[in-house]
A = this chain, B = another copy of it.
Amino acid sequence: MKEMLSWVNGQVGAPVDVFERALQYGDGLFETIRIHRYGPEFLERHIRRLRAGCERLKFPVMDWGLLRRELKELAAEHDNAVLKLILSRRCAGRGYGPLSGQGVTRIASLQPLPEWTANPAHGGIRVRICDARLAVQPLLAGIKHLNRLEQVLARAEWDDPAIAEGFMLSDRDRLIEGTMSNVFMLAKRGLITPDLSTCGVAGVMRSVILDLARSLGIDTEIRSISLDEITAAGEVFVCNSLIGIWPVVAIDGVRSFDAGPITRQLQAALAECDKTGDGNWYSL
């Protein structure tokens, strides 16, 4: 696909209401789903995270069967694309309340998969440490909600195209995530990814990699990580639903890494696994 397409509640090109709460307050959720070979990858994991988000934000009841069918239909005509879905709480009057009674608006768009000039999955990426910190907010941690100004400000800190990602720390000095990705590091006791119970987005690809690693017999741990620990790590990589796994070969001004064997093993396993539904790698 070349152009950008959009749908509102299944209607192609339909306008967005000015009073949508996603626009007024960021009162909504989103998913960025990779379409490959005419289907959405890891669809059930994306839907599971949306459901968790809807529960956390006290959203009205959704027809998940309808949403699932719609996403599959949108994907069915595209070999390779990015499907972004926004769920917005529909307006029920002026002000932050009342929340009930008006349902949820589904706003979908399809865009071409970004083209990366180098081959970052092979050659790895350079990252920087962002000045912008993530605020600690357990009420919103983990879910993929639409209040993303922290990421916008962090991403605005650099425009050097040689730097592909920025690491974000919490205001309590813990490494949490990249602006658009989750982070993994390899230490003595196995593969570690930051705990996201106080801030950050629990990525679908992060959950895939945790399951994939376990199926390959790699020890995994989810816990708080300091910047010192990540700079002392054996391997570091970032991941999201579009990029898969990118090795980190340098943290700017801190140190460089090699794309290590566990990163390569996970990339190979991810490339080979069946990505429908929850994913299936038990036969790897």
Contacts and interface: CB of A to CB of B under 8 A. Distances in A.
A26 to B, nearest CB: 3
A162 to B, nearest CB: 14
Interface string A137-167: 1011000011111111111100100000000
Given A16-B15, A20-B23, A97 B156 contact: yes
Interface stretch (A107-115, A188-196, A207-215, A266-274): A107-115
A150 B159 contact: no
A233 B4 CA distance: 57
A6 interface: yes
Contacts of A24: 30, 86, 146, 148
What is the total number of copies of this protein in its complex? 2
B27 A149 contact: yes
B19 A109 contact: yes
Given A26-B146, A94-B114, A171-B136, A152 B57 contact: yes
Given A6-B18, A99-B156, A135-B136, 14 more contacts: A4-B19, A16-B18, A24-B148, A25-B149, A26-B148, A26-B149, A27-B149, A57-B153, A82-B94, A95-B114, A96-B180, A97-B159, A135-B135, A140-B150
Closest 6 CB pairs of A and B: A15-B15, A26-B26, A135-B135, A147-B147, A25-B148, A96-B155
A156 B58 contact: yes
Contacts of A137: 133, 135, 150, 171
Q: How large is the interface on A (under 10, 10 to 19, 20 to 34, 35 or more residues)?
A: 35 or more
Interface of A: 4, 6, 8, 15-27, 30, 57-58, 82, 86, 88-89, 94-99, 107, 109, 111, 114, 132-133, 135-137, 139-140, 145-156, 159, 171, 179-180
A28 to B, nearest CB: 8
B136 A27 contact: no
B96 A151 contact: yes
Nearest to A143: B149
B96 A152 contact: yes
Given A136-B135, A155-B97, A16 B23 contact: yes
B95 A180 contact: yes
Contacts of A135: 135-137
Nearest to A7: B18
A16 B4 CA distance: 16
A57 B151 CA distance: 11
Most buried by B among A98, A148, A149, A171: A149
Contacts of A25: 26, 146-149, 151-152
